[in-house]
Structure 1
Amino acid sequence: MAGAFGRPLTPPDLPANQREWETMLRASSGHLAALQLRWALREQRLFSACPADVAEYLDAIYTLNLDRNLQCEDQLADFIRLLNSIDVRPVLLKGAAALVGGLYPTSGERMISDLDILIPAHRLPDIIDKLAGAGYKPRATEGREIPSPVGFRGDHHYPPVVSADWPSRVELHISPVHLEFAALLPSEEVYREATAMKWRGGECFLPSPTHFVAHNIIHAFLFNTKSGLEPVSLRQLFEFALASRVYAERIDWKNIRNRFESHGHGKALRQYLALANTLLDFHVPEQIDISAGQRPNIQPYLIHLDLDNRSALWTINFLRQVKSRLRSLWQRRGKIIQELSTPGVYKRFVRSILGSPEG
């Protein structure tokens, strides 16, 4: 994947046989990063050296993803116009911001699972009412009730809204990050420093480059990896490195350093940058020091990435799910008895341990 950023690759760097190709494709697909692999091979002019079935597979993924993302862009444009009709201009987050902001060469290079949008919390009731008239309905996880949008503060986003007319679910965020990290990236600050733009007949905001990068670190590393015990997401790490290159001097690295250090996350910030440097040749900004002593601190994350032992992975996943479920229950501790008496909570836990999707 580092070949997409210019790291020289030669034919000997490619998998030597079918088994190695299958291993690499399985790993990249597991990280939703097969498109970055394709990008790197094409950038290094090695795509023609791939076995024919591998090239066809990667091209097929790109074509299918491009088609879906173009539909998602149509959906997003329609969604923004719906919000504009009630005088709401949202801030686009994560994949939505990357697509609309043109971070990738085309829409086909970035896989997205949903559309994340930041809205003013006090407008949530009006927004839900407007979306209901347009065919959108909130979808709650099995065993949970749809909360009232009035005064909603129970999570960083409302239950996803879905429409039979569109391909993607939409998450309406009242905070760009999970509530435990809300002070690290406050909604008011994101709105205040966002860039207003007109796009396909609607008006919205894009996060500042500094906030886009900070959001990536908080969501991908602090929450998913360090809090959730998940392996480092290569797709998110790639997007971090890409945004750092594209936005370049527009990123205030001193602000990011001070932000994370003041909230006790300076070590995590340096670890994430060290991972990007090691895996993707990310050029660490001079404002942030990742000394040689930092290298041993990232070894557990590198080992987890390479882990192929099913028993070890199952154990890690079990611990991750226990930790995640307990944290979720604690955040809703006012309803903990009701939660524990609901069969759905146990079904979701078992499915998550077995690696089954929740829907």
Structure 2
Amino acid sequence: MANLATTYQHIANILSFETSNSKLEKTISDATFNWDTIVIEGSKQLVLPAIYCRLKTRQLLHLLPKDLTNYLEQITNINRARNIRILNQVHNISQILNQHNIDHVFLKGAALLASGCYKDNGERMVGDIDILVEKSEIFNAFEILKNSGYNKTFGFAYEKKDFRHLDRLISENELAAIELHTELLNKTHWPLLNMPTILNSKIRRNTIAISNKHYLSQHLILAWQLNDKGHYYNIISLKSIYDLIAIEVHKEQNLIYTLLNSKYGQSYLELAKCYFPEFSSIPTNNYMKYRIFLHKIKMSFKPLRIIINCIKQATIFISSRLYLVYTNRSYTKHIIKEKILNKTNLFNSY
């Protein structure tokens, strides 16, 4: 597949609420339409259930190969059942935290499910349950949840300084792990989101505390752009854009204006505008034109895309490890123990 942008555009046309049925039907009914690339990239982007639900709502499933329809339906049914259990889990966690007067809000996928913004709960794939907790109460909340059945933890092999969340809490009886946050972004970007403001402006949906649309959307965008390195690699997240469409961020002009005040919001919205008609009215500046130009070039040439990504991956890996060695003694001890001493023991065993 030479042009990845074409595949992304096909997926965006399926997910969009503004792409006409007639246009989409003409595209996917073509005998040369490549469903394999849709499945591959849709799986990578975690939107296969959303693709199925949108095609079902549009009454276009009859245009798919029968085995593909069955496959997508099975995945969506599994995801729907999983999300129902996760939503019940969110209610139980909420009840526990409320009983102990822990100030908190649910974030990202958990918040979106609780808000009821999807017509079908099978649409959104959810991993961990992310919760923002007031900083002074974070360790109390951690112990309360540990004593409530989430008695297994998973974290780093070394002390992680100033990380945005504590070790993951895991229960043998529940599907999703819990991540308790005191911050939502990596340390260098903490000033971009104010935690007390997010907590104080929370809203409730079916008794569940979630961040309001303004901060929910900001977090979805900045988490992708910064934590997941979307801005660094200049790549798109179809899942997070579909999330924004589901909560109708594109209709909130004041919110769009706020997002356009940062380069991270600008580059994100320009990519969204490139693929989704919902964002077509967003104004473009020279910086945004520059970002989309580079994106299109990279998406059009696979060898170039591989080279650029490899260089960027190597650069960020080396720089981040050097920074850890310089600033984190625990990490340095871990490296000495795991990499050097283990190799020495292995050598001596021969």
**How does the TM-score come out when normalised to structure 1?**
0.79
Matched, 1:6 2:30: no
Choose which of 229, 235, 240 in structure 2 pairs with 1:231: 235
Matched, 1:138 2:153: yes
Q: Contact 1:228–1:323 at 8 Å: present in 2 too? A: no
Identity %: 19
Choose which of 61, 83, 87 in structure 2 pairs with 1:69: 83
Hey, what does 1:184 align to over in structure 2? 192
Hey, what does 1:41 align to over in structure 2? 55
Hey, what does 1:319 align to over in structure 2? 312
More deviation in 322-331 or 153-162? 322-331
Inter-partner Cα distance in structure 2 for 1:279 and 1:215: 21
Q: Contact 2:50–2:122 at 8 Å: present in 1 too? A: no
More deviation in 336-345 or 96-105? 336-345
Inter-partner Cα distance in structure 1 for 2:40 and 2:338: 34
Residues 79/328 of structure 1: CA separation in 2 closer, same or farther (3 Å cut): farther
Inter-partner Cα distance in structure 2 for 1:323 and 1:15: 42
Inter-partner Cα distance in structure 2 for 1:318 and 1:165: 42
Q: Contact 2:170–2:178 at 8 Å: present in 1 too? A: yes
Q: Contact 1:119–1:173 at 8 Å: present in 2 too? A: yes
Q: Report the Cα offset of residue 178 of structure 1.
A: 2.4
**Structure 1 residues 126-165: Cα deviation after superposition (integer angstroms, max 9, x where no partner):** 1122122122122123x336x7xxxxx6211111111101
Which one has more relative contact order, counting CA pairs under 8 Å at least 6 apart?
Answer: 2
Residues 59/178 of structure 1: CA separation in 2 closer, same or farther (3 Å cut): same
Residue 292 of structure 2 aligns with an amino acid whose one-letter code is I
Matched, 1:248 2:251: yes
Matched, 1:110 2:124: yes
Q: Contact 2:115–2:205 at 8 Å: present in 1 too? A: no
Residues 175/96 of structure 1: CA separation in 2 closer, same or farther (3 Å cut): same
Residues 99/343 of structure 1: CA separation in 2 closer, same or farther (3 Å cut): same
Inter-partner Cα distance in structure 2 for 1:223 and 1:129: 26
Residue 251 of structure 2 aligns with an amino acid whose one-letter code is A
Ranges in structure 1 where 5+ consecutive residues have no aligned partner = 148-152, 348-359
Matched, 1:343 2:335: no
Hey, what does 1:208 align to over in structure 2? 212
Inter-partner Cα distance in structure 2 for 1:78 and 1:321: 42
Hey, what does 2:181 align to over in structure 1? 173
Ranges in structure 2 where 5+ consecutive residues have no aligned partner = 1-11, 343-350
Q: SS state of the match for residue 101, structure 2?
A: coil
Matched, 1:52 2:66: yes
Alignment of 1:82-101 (within 5 A): 82-101=96-115
Q: SS state of the match for residue 205, structure 1?
A: strand
Residue 13 of structure 2 aligns with an amino acid whose one-letter code is A
More deviation in 329-338 or 104-113? 329-338
Inter-partner Cα distance in structure 2 for 1:315 and 1:296: 17
Choose which of 264, 272, 275 in structure 2 pairs with 1:276: 272
Matched, 1:31 2:45: yes
Q: Contact 1:88–1:119 at 8 Å: present in 2 too? A: yes
Aligned CA RMSD, in angstroms, stands at: 3.0
Residues 289/124 of structure 1: CA separation in 2 closer, same or farther (3 Å cut): same
Please say which structure displays the higher CA radius of gyration. Answer: 2
Residues 135/58 of structure 1: CA separation in 2 closer, same or farther (3 Å cut): same
Inter-partner Cα distance in structure 1 for 2:31 and 2:335: 50
Inter-partner Cα distance in structure 1 for 2:279 and 2:308: 35
Hey, what does 1:158 align to over in structure 2? 166
Hey, what does 2:345 align to over in structure 1? none
Runs of 4+ deviating beyond 4 Å = 15-19, 303-309
Residue 216 of structure 1 aligns with an amino acid whose one-letter code is L
Inter-partner Cα distance in structure 2 for 1:307 and 1:75: 44
Q: Report the Cα offset of residue 284 of structure 1.
A: 5.2
Hey, what does 2:348 align to over in structure 1? none
Q: SS state of the match for residue 197, structure 2?
A: helix
Q: Report the Cα offset of residue 169 of structure 1.
A: 0.9
Count of residue correspondences: 324
Q: Contact 2:184–2:223 at 8 Å: present in 1 too? A: no
Residues 191/185 of structure 1: CA separation in 2 closer, same or farther (3 Å cut): same
Matched, 1:290 2:284: yes
Inter-partner Cα distance in structure 1 for 2:246 and 2:296: 20
Q: Report the Cα offset of residue 173 of structure 1.
A: 0.6
